[in-house]
Amino acid sequence: MKFGMIGSGSWATALAKILTDNGNTLNWWIRNPDTIQYMEKRKHNPHYLSSVYFDLSQIRLNADIQWVVANSDVLVIAVPSAYVEEAFKQIPPELLAGKRLISAVKGILPSENQLLNEFLSGHYRFPLADFYSVLGPCHAEEVAAEKLSYLTFSGMDPVATKQIADRFHTDYLNTVVNTDVMGVQYAAVLKNIYALGAGIAHGLEYGDNFLSVYIANSANEMVGFLRKLDQGNPAGSDTHNYAASVYLGDLLVTCYSLYSRNRTFGNMIGKGYSVKSAQLELNMVAEGYNASKCIHRMNTRMAASMPIADAIYQILWEQVPALEGFKKIETYLV
């Protein structure tokens, strides 16, 4: 099983560490040739998780995405959702035939309001049976420090999914398998929105008591959305444990952790930064920003009860003052 990595940010670098620590070889697409040259000389990513050093006998770095796709059996997609379509424009559909694809994307593709599997189905006729997702709770920084973490792999076939998950299992990384391919992806989208809101609350100087109530209500709102999404599926939400790590656990760590870029971004908004200023200061993608708009659009059709997500959308996209938005959120919490 030959793996290919698409992306070179912190999460891609963490996943590359996990795969190579477990003895896998890796074809790694990195867009910038200067970064490749640096890594070939210094053996670490100069921009992300620079403490992680790689055995380059296990890795083939290449700036040609088509070469990486052609020479890999399993592709790990680990680029921010806003840049996925740009990357895939370079890949002819025939190159994806017979491949298996693991999505490490934690957002919705904004131009068409789609998850990655929906985009691939529409543009590449890529079968859902060959699509898998990998989600946390798992911060890249803790992977770099080899602190015990858990990843959940979701796929239609539990046996095939476990075969892939086993390739990522290490002494510091445990793997879990589930079959809720759509639900776990939307849970990852929603937790980034709520974490961004948790950061806003912190910036506004709300305390831990309020934050615990806010997160509990956010978890309930997320479950309501996922159950509505799953209506009509005979093997649907009644079989899913929404208190599991990939749902509730990922929400908690993203809301609380100082490693969370969404929480950090929100904290800046709460302290009075404009969206533009916060983006420049963070210098990384906070997926919750675009996700709030995508979920708002999607929910005009679904009509799930989402007052918290709606209020965060209004703060970020409709210039509602952060304190005014959270005064509104206060009235919804129980």
271: DSSP letter? T
160 with 189, same domain? no
Of 129, 146, 179, the residue that ends a domain is: 179
pTM, two decimals, is 0.92
pLDDT bucket at 233, cuts 50 / 70 / 90? low
239 with 261, same domain? yes
171 with 207, same domain? no
Mean pLDDT in residue range 191-201: 97
207 with 111, same domain? no
- Say yes or no to pLDDT of 58 above 80: yes
84 with 204, same domain? no
The total of structural domains in the chain comes to 2
The 10s digit of each residue's pLDDT in 95-124 is 999 999 999 998 899 888 899 999 999 999
The 10s digit of each residue's pLDDT in 290-329 is 999 999 999 999 999 999 999 999 999 999 999 999 999 9
Q: What is the CATH number of the domain that holds 155?
A: 3.40.50.720
The mean pLDDT value of the chain amounts to 94
236 with 129, same domain? no
Q: Which amino acid is at 49?
A: L
> Quick one: pLDDT at residue 184?
96
230 with 130, same domain? no
Q: Which residues constitute the domain of residue 323?
A: 182-332
Cα–Cα distance measured from residue 241 to residue 205, given in angstroms and rounded to the nearest whole number: 33
Q: What is the CATH number of the domain that holds 193?
A: 1.10.1040.10
Strand, helix or coil at 132? strand
The 10s digit of each residue's pLDDT in 66-85 is 999 999 999 999 999 989 99
40 with 171, same domain? yes
Of 133, 162, 179, the residue that ends a domain is: 179
Of 146, 179, 212, the residue that ends a domain is: 179
What are the distances in angstroms from CA 286 to CA 41, 159, 223, 239, 289? 31, 34, 22, 31, 6
The 10s digit of each residue's pLDDT in 132-147 is 999 999 999 999 999 9
Share of the chain above pLDDT 70, in %: 98
155 with 200, same domain? no
Question: Which pairs with CB-CB distance under 8 Å and at least 24 residues apart come from 115-122?
Answer: 115/182, 115/185, 115/186, 116/77, 116/81, 116/84, 116/185, 117/181, 117/182, 117/185, 119/84, 119/85, 119/88, 120/96
> Quick one: pLDDT at residue 255?
97
165 with 72, same domain? yes
The 10s digit of each residue's pLDDT in 272-294 is 999 999 988 887 778 899 999 99
